[in-house]
Amino acid sequence: MKRPAETTADEVQDESALKKTRLDENGDTTSDPASIVNLAYEDKLNYVSVIAKPMASRKMTKKLLKLTKKAAKKKGIVAGLKNVQKQIRRGDKGIIVIAGDVTPIDVISHLPVLCEENDIPFAFVPLRYDISAAMGVKRPCVMVMIRKNEAYDELYESCLTLVKSLPLPSQCIEQVE
């Protein structure tokens, strides 16, 4: 065990980020959203839940959030759990971006199965604050469905091929066993 004199600057910085905690809308203790969004991708993965598979890589996350930003400007997104579920059940197609840090897990645990059954590509990104920042809103967003639009067609198609290349959660479980 380290003594206080032996702590490094990185450990002090991590502790200061964790001390800035507050209760979010679910009553969970989370760090300040502004400090979490500015973390490195690897540090954001510490906040991710167990079921967040397939997780988008750092580059894919950046690309998906860029697409989300463009789609939000053109009103080509459906935001929020309830609205996305409604659109899936109606038969709409698009790319679904799900936040990996959602608590309790039960809120989104049925979504990967629902997406698989309807052949809708989906990927997890580390934080819900990243999705909301890309949309240009302050309230955290659990998930987004991005619809196809001519304004960002090229980026949409490249993201679609990347997301479709990710393994499905059922395949991820088989790899672990």
Note the pLDDT tens digit of each residue in 44-53: 888 888 888 8
**CATH number for the domain that contains residue 154:** 3.30.1330.30
- Residue 27 in any domain: the answer is yes
pLDDT of residue 24: 52
In the chain, the number of structural domains is 1
Residue 39 domain boundaries: 21-170
Specify if 9 maps to a domain: no
pLDDT digits (tens, 9 = 90+) for 138-170: 999 999 999 999 999 999 999 999 999 998 776
The answer to whether the CB of 128 falls within 8 A of the CB of 102 is: yes
pLDDT digits (tens, 9 = 90+) for 31-43: 566 667 788 888 8
pTM of the model: 0.76
